[in-house]
Amino acid sequence: MAASSKSAVVLKAVKKIAVQFCPFESNVRSTREFLLFVGSEKARSTNMNCEVITTVKHDKSEPVVDVTFVDGERLLMKGAKLTTREMLSAFQSRCTAKDPQAKAGVKK
Amino acid sequence: MQHWFYSTMTLQQDSIKTTVHVCSLTARLPAQTQSPAVSSGGRRSSECIIRAVVTSGITFFLSMMAATLCGKLLPKQGWLPVTQSVRHGSKAVTRHRKPIHILKQKLLAVTKYVPPTPVVPKGAYPSERQEVKEESGFVLLLKRELKKLFQDYKMVAVAQNCNSNAEDMRILKHRLHRHGIAVKFFPNQVMCSFLSDSVYSNMAPLFIGPTVLFVSKEPKVKEMLTSLRSSPQMTLLGACIDNTLLSAQGVVSYSKLPSVSVVQGELVSGLAMMTAHTASMLQRHPAHLSALLQQYVKQQSSEEAPKAEEAT
């Protein structure tokens, strides 16, 4: 995926990521790929305290990604009709919005 | 004695200066033509004449070339330039990409191939002809292996690994090997095409992204689950145990099932319970009667015993 290789996923402002999907459904591809990116070594190394929890269900439910940030904000992404790129861009934009604030504050 | 004088003319089309190496061409020419004619003899004359003709022809050609090309360079016959310039300037074969001449550029631009625009864009309609690609030998080999796998191994579990180092994989493989579970990798495309042909077509949507197969001859689910719990990046998606497709929760509940002998015992006892109940129901009345008679006999004997004691 060229979009994500440009900028690595920075998880510094993320507390927990809970991914749930039903693998026998046909609309889980984007959620699974999102899980791959978020659970990769590079992303994990940015924040070792961040938990990535995967739940595999079998109840024909929609795939859902629930992100809990450090400041208490929650991002809920329903991945049934979303592409991986959209999910990643939304997630990354929020991460970078929260993260450089802390970084810039520390630098100044 | 024939002295052959040769002239080498090297021409470069793109070079600015053409250099002509002339080795005493013009000076010797008249002498050559004359000498065969002077010597005469019976047999030698014909040979000399032939040679003369040939040489004169070649020299005429060369002289014509020389005249056309270096008419200005060597105006007088027999005059050789003192300095001979070495060919230099722009070359045709360069190490860098030589810029194309503007005229050539223009020509190429004008004569460029413009393909005809299709009336319908490419992806609009599906192609009429279905492309059937012949599978390579490696794919066939993999399919044969898969077939054998599904025949031999009773348990085939599918898991997705987000990221695992070689170290983690090694440890996991070792742990599973102790229980007789093998770890297999197959390309997703091959897997999907094989599954769609076989009975297990419903497993096909599981194979997205990096997947790992855990196969074992005996369905050892508990051990597998404990080993997978230790590696957090492996997510169990589903399993095919004894030709039944199970989800992740199904696998967990399968692991909680008691062993086969216990289940068989339970089944037998459950079946036997009904018949035992019927038998006891049938025998209730005679049993009751026999119990009553026994009680009566006991009472009688206990009454008689004190009477006998009183009598004595």
Q: Testing the interface with B: which of A4, A17, A58, A65 to mutate, by most B Cβ within 10 A?
A: A58
- The CA-based diameter of chain B, rounded to the nearest angstrom, is 192
| B208, B210, B247 member nearest A29 (Cβ) | B208
Residue A106 lies in a domain: no
Q: For residue B234, what is the DSSP state?
A: E
Query: What does the pLDDT read at residue B235?
Result: 85
| Least confident interval from B18-27, B150-159, B174-183, B292-301 | B18-27
CATH code of the domain containing A70: 3.40.30.10
Identify the CA nearest to B84 among candidates B25, B26, B22, B7: B22
**Helix, strand, coil shares, percent, chain A, to 5:** 40, 25, 35
Closest CA to B32 of B8, B9, B10, B57: B57
Residue of B165, B205, B235 with shortest CB distance to A24: B205
Measured in whole angstroms, the distance separating CA B12 from the mean position of its chain's CA atoms is: 50
A23 and B249 within 8 Å at the Cβ level: the answer is no
Task: Establish if A21 belongs to a structural domain.
Answer: yes
Share of chain B above pLDDT 90, in %: 27
Whether the per-residue pLDDT at B4 is higher than 50: the answer is no
Task: Find chain A residues with C-beta within 8 A of B164's C-beta.
Answer: none
- Report how far residue B79's alpha carbon sits from residue A46's, in angstroms, rounded to the nearest whole number: 85
| Per-residue pLDDT band at B73 (split at 50, 70, 90) | low
Instruction: Give residue B237's region: left, alpha or beta (phi > 0; psi -120 to 50).
Output: alpha
Cβ pair B248:A56 closer than 8 A:
yes
Q: Which among B163, B205, B248 is the nearest to A39, CB-wise?
A: B163
Residue A3 lies in a domain: no
Of A57-61, A93-97, B53-57, the least confident: B53-57
pLDDT, averaged across chain A? 80
- Tell me if A28 is assigned to some domain: yes
Q: Say whether pLDDT at B95 is over 80.
A: yes
- What is the extent of the structural domain holding A89? 14-98
SS3 of B129, please?
coil
A14-21 and A51-56 beta bridge pairing: parallel
B67 vs B13, residue with greater confidence: B67
pLDDT band at B168 (very low <50, low <70, confident <90, very high): confident
Contact B162 A52 (CB under 8 A): yes
Nearest CA in chain B to A26: B205
Task: Reply yes or no on whether the pLDDT at B289 is more than 80.
Answer: yes
- The answer to whether the CB of B172 falls within 8 A of the CB of B231 is yes
Question: Are the CB atoms for A34 and A90 separated by under 8 Å?
Answer: no
Facing residue for A26 by CB, picked from B205, B209, B238: B205
CA distance A103 to chain B (A): 28
Has residue A40 been placed in a domain?
yes
- Per-residue DSSP letters for chain A? -HHHHHS----TTEEEEEEEE-TTSSS-HHHHHHHHHHTSHHHHHH-TT-EEEEEE--S-PPPEEEEEETTS-EEEEETTS--HHHHHHHHHHHHHHHHHHHHHHHH-
- How sure is the predictor about B148, in pLDDT bands with cuts at 50, 70 and 90? very high
Q: Does the pLDDT of residue B15 top 90, yes or no?
A: no
> Cβ–Cβ of A58/B249 closer than 8 Å?
yes
Could you tell me the CA-to-CA distances from A7 to A42, A44, A96, B61, B221 in Å, in that order?
11, 14, 11, 74, 40
Q: Which residues contact B175 (CB under 8 A, 6 or more apart)?
A: B227, B230
In this prediction, residue A7 carries a pLDDT of: 57
| Bridge partners, B161 (sequence order) | B234
Instruction: Give the pLDDT of residue A107.
Output: 61
Query: Any idea what the Cα angle at residue B144 is, between residues B140 and B149, rounded to 5°?
Result: 145
Domain for residue A52, yes or no? yes
> Nearest-CA distance from A58 to chain B in Å?
7
Lowest mean pLDDT among A75-79, B81-85, B115-119: B81-85
Check residue B101 and give its pLDDT. 93
Residue B282: the pLDDT is 92
DSSP category for residue B258: P
Question: In this structure, are residues A18 and A74 in contact, taking their beta carbons and an 8 Å threshold?
Answer: no
Are the Cβ atoms of A39 and B162 closer than 8 angstroms? yes
* Higher pLDDT among residues B189 and B128, named by residue: B189
| Cβ(B29)–Cβ(B63) below 8 Å | yes
Show residues of chain B in contact with A57, CB under 8 Å: 248-249
Q: Report, as an integer, the average pLDDT of B294-302.
A: 93
Closest Cβ–Cβ partner in B208, B209, B247 for A58: B247
pLDDT in tens, A67-79: 888 888 888 888 8
Residue A25 and residue A57 in contact, taking contact as beta carbons nearer than 8 Å: no
CB-based contacts of A78, cutoff 8 Å, min separation 6: A62, A63, A64
Is A54 part of any domain?
yes
pLDDT of residue B6 exceeding 60: no
Q: How far is CA A19 from the centre of its chain?
A: 9
Residue A54, helix vs strand vs coil: strand
pLDDT of B190-247, one tens digit each?
999 999 888 888 888 888 888 889 998 888 888 888 888 888 778 888 888 888 888 8
Whether residue B254 has pLDDT greater than 60? yes
Looking at residues A37-50, what average pLDDT do you find? 83
**In this structure, what token pair is assigned to residue B129?**
């002809």
**Number of folded domains that form chain A:** 1
Identify the DSSP state of B201.
Answer: G
- Helices B137-152 and B188-197 meet at what angle, rounded to 10? 60
In the prediction, which pLDDT does A8 show? 67
The pTM score is 0.58
Residues constituting chain B: 312
Greatest pairwise CA separation for chain A in angstroms: 50
pLDDT band with cut points at 50, 70 and 90 for residue B75: low
CA angle B17, B21, B24 (to 5 degrees): 140
**Average model confidence (pLDDT) across chain B:** 79
What is the pLDDT at residue B200? 86
Q: Are B9 and B69 in contact (CB under 8 A)?
A: yes
Higher pLDDT, B194 or A4: B194
Q: Is the pLDDT of residue B63 over 60?
A: no
Chain A: nearest CA to B253, how far in angstroms?
Answer: 13
CA distances from B200 to B139, B193, B210, B240 (A): 18, 11, 20, 9
Residue B141 pLDDT level (bands cut at 50, 70, 90): very high
- In a domain? residue A107: no
What tokens appear for B219 in the block? 């369905």
Chain B residues with CB-CB distance to A41 below 8 A: 163, 165
Residue B260: the pLDDT is 81
